[in-house]
Amino acid sequence: MTLNRQSTPGADTKAPTRPRLFDKHGIDNYILHGSKAKVDERVDIGYDEKSGYVYWLPNAKTPPFSCKIEDPAKGSKLGGLKSFTEYKIHAQISNGRVVSRRYKQFEWLHEQLVNKFRFICVPPLPGKQIAGRFENEFIEERRRQLELWLNRICHHPVLCASFPVQHFVTCELTEKNNKDWKAGKRKSEKDELREAAWLHCVTHTQSNLTEAQIATQIDAFAQQQPGLETHLKNLNQGLIKYLERHAEIYKPDMQRLGELFSKVFIALQTDTSTSGNQELSLSVSKISASFQGIAELYKTKGSESVRNFNERIQEYIGLLACFPLILNIQRNASECIKSVQQRGPTATPDFSGAIHRGQVFNYVVLAEINFFQKDKVNDLNLYLKSLLHEQIQFYENITVELRAAAATFD
């Protein structure tokens, strides 16, 4: 990174450090000059001396919570010219109420969070569908994925307590009564504490971690992130193909086998005189029914657990995709801090403040990395355990079908 400096002939080599020309997110300005914005929010970062762990402290008034999204319903406006789907959201908080939200309002929330919390992972929303968007299967798929997304947001100790999230999950909105919703939207959209300016809200517990130790922890994650993202993407593609085979190959194959055994049964039924033939034909009929049952299992139980697991893998791919930008900003900020340290008090009138602000930003990045890493272990353990148990149950159900057919030969 090249820092802009005064180019006046004979200028002192210790001239004040200036922000980069393309300081898109304002991090250089934040480090060098701070901000005059009024700070009426507070975010705390804790430190565990025993483990050397930097972490987000939950907001005492608004700790993380969960949400349920239920009862998607079709709506319309402009005399039926424009149709949409509304989802009922119930936040599991004290005095929580059920509010209805459309997809475009989820888009609004996503935009507000990304713009305000540039250094926190805000996963992407599930994509839009252009055609056939009111089909029941798609609506249910979107409901599941929006619920996953919203719960990820409300699980984060910083995001869950933010005004945009609280406004989204608690403000009632109807066509006849949208005054409060619009007022909250304006408040969020005019918020000055976004991008680097938001860092002024952050305070952290003093630790015995050195700059080098913090840099080492951040760099270690930066080395791990691309590989994990790549391999989760590969797993996602493999699971998609596996699900396609369930629907397009395995299920039809089982159905076809059931139909073929059924025709054998019909053919055997024509022989009414040979001893044991009727018993044989009944056994073949049971085999036919077993394969039809297995086909139904492939349609429902076989794919359901894999689909649910894959939706969560897709969510983690989205989270990991947030980090390259965060880590790139952190690298640029580190260069700015080094420049300030090398130049000493001549780098900026607020030298000690610049060093402190640089430390705050590094703590923010490390707290977010640690939050992700801890969640990753907890979540993937839970997801994999659930997947395996449900797949075991699926194959046990197949075994039950086959055993029932085999029992007719005893």
Q: What would the pLDDT profile of 170-188 be if each residue is shown by its tens digit?
A: 998 877 778 999 999 999 9
My answer on whether 342 and 262 are in the same domain is: yes
**Do β-strands 53-56 and 43-48 pair in parallel, antiparallel, or remain unpaired?**
antiparallel
User: Tell me, what CATH number does 316's domain have?
Assistant: 1.20.1270.60
What pLDDT band is residue 365 in, cutting at 50, 70 and 90? very high
Q: Is the per-residue pLDDT at 21 higher than 70?
A: no
Inside any domain, residue 43: no
User: Residue 337: pLDDT above 80?
Assistant: yes
For the ranges 27-36, 157-166, 216-225, 240-249, the lowest mean pLDDT is seen at: 27-36
- Global pTM reads 0.89
State whether 112 and 232 are in the same domain: no
Q: What is the mean pLDDT of residues 85-106?
A: 91
What is the pLDDT at residue 392? 95
Please indicate, yes or no, if residue 254 is contained in any of the structural domains: yes
- Same domain flag for 139 and 233: no
Assess whether pLDDT exceeds 70 at residue 220. yes
Classify residue 17 by its DSSP letter.
P
pLDDT of residue 345: 85
Do 86 and 183 lie in a common domain? yes
| pLDDT score for 158 | 97
- CATH number of the CATH domain containing 80: 3.30.1520.10
- The total of structural domains in the chain comes to 2
pLDDT for 285-313, tens place per residue?
Answer: 999 999 999 999 998 888 899 999 999 99
Residue 199 lies in a domain: no
For residue 206, the model assigns a pLDDT of: 87
d(CA 158, CA 153): 9
Residues 241 and 118 in one domain: no
Asked if 175 and 246 sit in the same domain, the reply is no
Out of 168, 191, 214, a domain closes at 191
Dist CA 126 CA 107 (whole Å): 10
Out of 172, 191, 210, a domain closes at: 191
> Which of 196, 203, 188 is CA-nearest to residue 35?
196
CA distance 63 to 57: 9
Are residues 295 and 385 part of one domain? Answer: yes
Q: Are residues 128 and 178 in the same domain?
A: yes
Domain annotation covers residue 397: yes
**Amino acid 11: pLDDT:** 41
Show which of 141, 174, 191 is a domain's final residue: 191
Residues 99-157: pLDDT tens digits? 999 999 999 999 999 999 999 999 999 987 655 445 788 889 999 999 999 999 999 99
Residue 115: inside a domain: yes
> Which DSSP category does 322 fall into?
T
pLDDT at residue 346, as a whole number: 79
Residue 216 counted as domain residue: no
First to last CA, the chain: 79
Contact 113, 194 (CB under 8 A): no
- In this prediction, residue 22 carries a pLDDT of 58
Does one domain contain both 339 and 267?
A: yes
Domain ranges, residue 79: 67-191
Residues 272 and 396 in one domain: yes
Burial class from Cβ neighbours inside 10 Å (0-12, 13-18, 19+) for residue 234 reads exposed
Q: In the chain, what are the helix, strand and coil shares in percent, each to the nearest 5?
A: 60, 10, 30
Q: When comparing pLDDT for 206 and 398, which is higher? A: 398
Is it the case that residue 3 has pLDDT exceeding 50? Answer: no
Half-sphere exposure of 291 (CA within 13 A, CB side): 17
Mean pLDDT to the nearest integer, 278-288:
95
Least confident of 331-340, 358-367, 378-387: 331-340
Same domain, 360 and 236: yes
Whole-angstrom Cα distance, residue 90 to residue 93?
A: 9
Q: 29-38, 221-230, 375-384, 386-395: lowest mean pLDDT where? A: 29-38
Nearest to 37 by CA among 148, 201, 150, 166: 201
User: Looking at the domain assignment, is residue 214 inside a domain?
Assistant: no
**Whether 257 contacts 276, CB under 8 Å:** no
Residues with Cβ within 8 Å of residue 234, at least 6 apart in sequence: none
Lowest mean pLDDT among 19-33, 65-79, 148-162, 365-379: 19-33
Spatial distance between the Cα atoms of 338 and 329, rounded to a whole number of angstroms: 14
Query: Would you state the pLDDT for residue 350?
Result: 86
pLDDT at 189 over 50: yes
Q: Considering the chain, what is the average pLDDT of its residues?
A: 89
User: Looking at per-residue confidence, does 2 or 393 come out higher?
Assistant: 393
In a domain, 346, yes or no: yes
Residue 10's pLDDT is what? 42
In a shared domain, residues 94 and 242: no
